[in-house]
Amino acid sequence: MKRTTTTLADGRELLYFAADGESVHVQPDPRRLPAVSTASQMRLDPLLGEWVMMASHRQHRTFRPPEDDCPLCPSANGRQTEIPSAAYTVAVFENRFPSLSPHAGPGHVDVRHPLVPVRPGYGRCEVVCFTSDHHARFADLSHDQVRVVVDAWADRTEELSALDGVEQVFCFENRGPEIGVTLAHPHGQIYAYPFVTPRTRRMWEVARGHRERTGGNLHADVIAAERAAGLRVVAETTDWVAFVPAAARWPVEVHVYPLRRVRSIPELDDAQRQEFAGLYLDLLRRFDRLYDAPLPYISAWHQGPVSDDDDLGYLHLQLFSVRRAADKLKYLAGSESGMDAFITDVLPEDLARRLREV
């Protein structure tokens, strides 16, 4: 993989990723841009012990622009975008409207609450553009293009994990306005958090308890149980298995695990990365054949914290959608939003069968 680094007009970093042998044409960014906000802050919820990010400047971020004003398309015909070059394979740049910033300052915040500490919103938020084709879906990419994306995820995870103060790196993709996407161009994001996220922290607590009770690795035992049952397995290759979890929370949900345990994307070897690209494309195309229209989804990589001293981590991908029928969405209503107690509308076994059939 080839990586080329440059900067945008306001000093943000921009990286181009391409396969070995591909040419990369770096162009300067001629725009005049205001300084990126450094006002992000974090406040601790005293009832749950969880950090909440405050980024009021994001109210002014770009919202569903027309195609001819897309900020993620290559620059062309005199129109300058976030990508100064005329074409690219994969481009990654610091978010112009970040929830977390490496330059976050202390500010002058007094919440007048002794139980709510306030910290600068230190971290980093990056945008990952999977292709220069505005009309493509991730499922439309070639195997080789997906491999470049995987290598880019690995590169960014490794580099962001090395930043002082970063405790967890999260790579993800949101697709579809139904789940809040504001830019139609195929892209994902990466968050480098200065804390361990609530879901990961809870997963670690459960995994630690499982090991104390059984001596086993929770994720490995879940994989073994799903493969033995077979009911919910959607696809399996030499190095990976994809299944609908037995207690799925979402109407469409698939977990994808490497059969050889690793804790983060950079730890995947060449064979695992190659095989994942094909399996992931297969799953996304199955998702899009469930109904007449492309499925809105969230694709979330669960990597362990930067510091995994207890050796509990097991890298996996959670791929899920809020669409529960061709004309119905799953909304987080009272039980889910108020109590975080999920009610599932679709049986996991039925979903797995349908995904295998399509």
pLDDT value for 28? 96
Q: Which of 148, 180, 195 is the last residue of a domain?
A: 195
**Region 26-48 average pLDDT:** 95
pLDDT at residue 105 above 90?
no
Stated length of the chain:
358
- Give the residue, 292 or 231, on which the prediction is more confident: 231
**Are 213 and 306 members of one domain?**
yes
End-to-end CA gap in the chain: 33
Exposed, middle or buried by CB within 10 Å (0-12, 13-18, 19+), for 263? middle
Task: Give yes or no: residues 141 and 216 share one domain.
Answer: no
Give the pLDDT confidence score for residue 139 in this predicted structure.
97
Helix (H, G, I), strand (E, B), or coil: what is residue 15?
strand
Distance between CA atoms of 42 and 167, rounded to whole angstroms? Answer: 15
- Number of folded domains in the chain? 2
- Residue 324 pLDDT > 80: yes
Q: For the sheet with 233-236, list strands across it.
A: 2-7, 13-18, 90-94, 124-129, 187-193, 168-175, 297-302, 316-321, 252-258, 240-243, 233-236
Is 90 exceeded by the pLDDT of residue 237? Answer: yes
Banded pLDDT at 193 (limits 50, 70, 90): very high
C-alpha–C-alpha distance, residues 140 and 219, integer Å: 31
**Would the pTM of this model clear 0.85, i.e. be above it?**
yes
Residues 171 and 232 in one domain: no
Query: Which residues are known catalytic residues?
Result: 187
Alpha-carbon 226 to chain mean position: 24
Does the pLDDT value for residue 23 go beyond 90? no
Predicted confidence band of residue 124 (pLDDT cuts 50, 70, 90): very high
Q: If you average pLDDT over residues 138-159, what whole number do you get?
A: 98
Q: Look up residue 179 and give its two tokens.
A: 């789940």
Last residue of a domain, one of 195, 221, 256: 195
Mark whether 189 and 204 lie in a shared domain. no
Q: Is the pLDDT score of 106 beyond 80?
A: no
Please give the residue range of the domain that contains residue 175.
Answer: 2-195
For the chain, the average pLDDT equals 96
Choose the final residue of a domain: 195, 212, 236: 195
Out of 32-36, 101-105, 107-111, 242-246, which region has the weakest mean confidence (pLDDT)? 107-111
**234 neighbors 242 (Cβ within 8 angstroms):** yes
93, 210: one domain: no
